[in-house]
Amino acid sequence: EAGVAQSPRYKIIEKRQSVAFWCNPISGHATLYWYQQILGQGPKLLIQFQNNGVVDDSQLPKDRFSAERLKGVDSTLKIQPAKLEDSAVYLCASSLGQGSEKLFFGSGTQLSVL
């Protein structure tokens, strides 16, 4: 079974530039999550989708971050413009539903903002 796919693996940009990350969840998984993990900290939820609808985006900095999940499958997360404090690993995860199922994570995109 294929896992959660993310790209790119690494990205280096200058502040005020834009960047986009892509995630393809495990086939059949209805719930998709984007997490931000700053070095030395646990992952923090940015946004949660159920199919193509947003369930929770309370911690998404909406002035600069946006995310979409067209057709309820792939998802993209965009930052525009980036700030130095956005340097982190962006993790995508998926699960069958919002219930008791385990989460499966991708390898993440490591973003460095210079």
Where do contacts with other proteins occur on this chain (CB under 8 A)? 4, 31, 33, 40-45, 48, 55-56, 91, 93, 98-100, 102-108, 110
Kindly state the smallest distance separating residue 95's Cβ from other proteins, in Å: 9
* C-beta closer to other proteins: residue 82 or 93: 93
What gap in Å lies between CA 25 and CA 23, rounded to an integer? 6
Kindly state the smallest distance separating residue 99's Cβ from other proteins, in Å: 7
DSSP, residue by residue, 17-67? --EEEEEE--TT--EEEEEEE-TTS--EEEEEEETTEEEE-TTS-TTTEEE
* C-beta closer to other proteins: residue 17 or 52: 52
**Contact by Cβ (8 Å): 23, 32:** yes
* C-beta closer to other proteins: residue 91 or 113: 91
CA atoms within 13 A on the CB side of 87: 11
* C-beta closer to other proteins: residue 45 or 81: 45
Kindly state the smallest distance separating residue 101's Cβ from other proteins, in Å: 8
What gap in Å lies between CA 34 and CA 66, rounded to an integer? 11
Kindly state the smallest distance separating residue 100's Cβ from other proteins, in Å: 6
